[in-house]
Structures are given as C-alpha cells and as structure tokens.
Amino acid sequence: MRKLLLSSTALASAAVLTANIAVADVSISAATEWKYMSTSSQVTAEDGTEFGTDSEIAFKFSNKTDSGLTIGYVVELESDATTAGGADNMVDESSLSISGGFGKIVLGMNDGVGDNYGIEAEDAVAEEQAPTLASATIGQDTDISISSNDNNKVAYHLPAMGGFTAGASFEDSGQAGSSDITAYGFNYKMEAAGNTITIGGASATKEVATKDTDHQNLGVKIVSGNLTFIAAQSSKEAVDEDINSTGAGVSYKMANGMVLGAYTMKSEDDLDAGEEYSSSGVEVQYTIAAGLTAVINVDDYDYKVGTNRDGTSTVSDSGTISKLTLKASF
C-alpha cells in the first residue's frame, strides 16, 4: 500500500510539473558584434586602431495565471565579461515583470524608463560612436544618461491609451545613500497624411547633496515610407553644469536591403565658457543574410574645452572615427 501511495504521489507530482512547464513560454536568443575601429585623434592615447566585441545571451520566461496576469522573467548575460561581479558583471540585466489590464510593473536590474520612451537624433543610425573625452562633462548625444544603468529599480508602464504610452521608474540608492534616481517618460504616436509621427520625451532626476542633477529629452520621429527623420534636444543641469544639446538624424531603406543613415548634433555648456562639442556621422547598413548585418560608420567630432575646464586632464580634441561592425543574431 505504501509503495502504491508513493508511486501515485510521484506520478501526480510529475503531472503537475509537466503542466507547469507546458503553460510557460521559454525563449533563448543571442546577439554578437565584432568591430574594427580606427580613430584619428589629437590625443595620443586615443589615436590608433582596435578590435572589439559585444555579445549577449538572453533567456526569457513568461507564464499566464488563471486570473489573467502575465508573469515574465528576463535575464541577459554579457558573454564578453571576464569576471563575475563588479564592472564586468556577467549578468547584464535580470528583472521580473507583472502585466495585465492595469499596465506593467518591472522589478529588478533594468534600464530606467527613459530608454523606453526618449527619442534621440542618433537613433537614426545603428552604431553611434562617441570619442573618449577625459574628464569632460559635455553632452555627446541628445539622450538622457542619468537612469541608463542596470541597477535595481522598480518601474511602472501605463497601458496603451490610443497612441499614448507612459511610464515611471525609481532607483533606491540604499539606506545611507543620497543618490536616488526618479525617471519619467512618454510616447505619443499618430498617423497624418500617410506618415507615422511619434513624439517622445524623458526626464530623470538624481538626488545630490549639493544640487540635484536633472536631465530632460524631447524628440520627434517622422516615418514616411522608407524615409525616417528625427529631431531631438536635451538639457542637463547639475553643479557647474547647464548643458543644452540639439540634433537631427535621417535614414533611408533601399530596395536592395541597404540602409543609409546620417546625423548631426551640437552641445554647449552655458556655465563653462566656450565649452562645446559637435559631431556628425554617416552610416551604411547592409543585410548580408538573415541574421547577419554589416555596418560601416564614419564620424567626425570636435570638442573645445573652453576657459572653465572641468578637470586638469581635459583637453580640446577633434578627429574622425571609422568603424566596421559585423552583427549576428540568433
């Protein structure tokens, strides 16, 4: 009798486990990039060539409860990482999501909502490349950067209402911390005369003991057939910083699978007299085969340190960055 009971229990447990697995959706995907970059710079340490890779493996799980909630879990591994932990953490993102008629809640290590809703001019190209400017605090694009990290956060996204979506996220720096980050974002998409117009914006505030750091972005994206045009601006205020950046970008999808892109932007700091940064670039994307793409970029940049430099190691610089990237997805 005892053996029969144990056998029945084992069969029941296996049936429950099988049922749970059956209703859970699991997907595994991967992406890898290999690049060759040549930099012509006035700074000796930045001048020269280099190889690079950026690879990621993503595991995604989702399940729907009897009450209609969708539970999701995503973990992304940076397969180029050499150590587990620290700045080279192998786990890039790991978050739990709960969604339903009320919207979507995301808990864990993920980007702030600014990355979901903000529109920047450099979105017109696939491979934006900014130079390394030692100790410089000038803006190098029209995006917001405060909440663009994978620290532990809680985020909430409203359910779509027509063409309007919005969300908010909060990052707690800890009991003894004073650098909490709150971010907001929105998108509004509409159709007009056969064109798709999207207006997006994002705002983030980081608490600082002396003066909070505020970063805002606002952009518009117009898609007309194979042509995409983007215009955007951003502003950042912090201690000794009043930075304003503006930019525009365009891309065109050709019939042969090639995509041409270009952008230009400029950034100025009103509190650091004469400090400014400008950049412009062109790009060609070509789909070699399904899941395999080649991207060629050429970017010119010019940085003027101004009279009120932020650090003794900050120097003026200008140059050109040329890059070949091979991208594969699985």
Neighbours of 123 (CB within 10 A): 23
Q: What is the pLDDT of residue 82?
A: 58
Evaluate whether residue 7 is within a structural domain. no
218-247 average pLDDT score? 95
| Least trusted range by pLDDT, from 140-149, 228-237, 272-281 | 140-149
Six-digit token string for 80? 């180029």
Determine, yes or no, domain membership for 11: no
pTM for the complete prediction?
A: 0.84
**Residue 37: CA atoms inside 13 Å, Cβ hemisphere, count?**
19
Tokens of 163: 């063409």
Cβ-based neighbours of 246, under 8 Å, separated by 6 or more: 121, 142, 232, 233, 265, 266
Q: Which domain holds residue 47?
A: 27-329
Residue 13 has pLDDT above 70, yes or no: no
8 part of a folded domain: no
Whether 5 is covered by a domain: the verdict is no
What is the phi-psi region of residue 297: left when phi exceeds 0, alpha when psi lies from -120 to 50, beta otherwise?
beta
Q: What is the CATH number of the domain that holds 154?
A: 2.40.160.10
Residue 186's closest CA among 151, 206, 162, 207? 162
Residues 137/311, Cβ–Cβ less than 8 Å: no
Q: Is residue 4, in this structure, part of any structural domain at all?
A: no
* Residue 147 structure tokens: 């909440």
Which tokens is 141 given? 């694009």
Q: Confidence band (pLDDT; 50, 70, 90) for 79?
A: confident
pLDDT band per the 50, 70, 90 thresholds, residue 38: very high
Q: Report yes or no on 1 lying in a domain.
A: no
Residue 10 belongs to a domain: no
3 in any annotated domain: no
pLDDT tier at 21 (50, 70, 90 boundaries)?
very low
Count of domains in the chain? 1
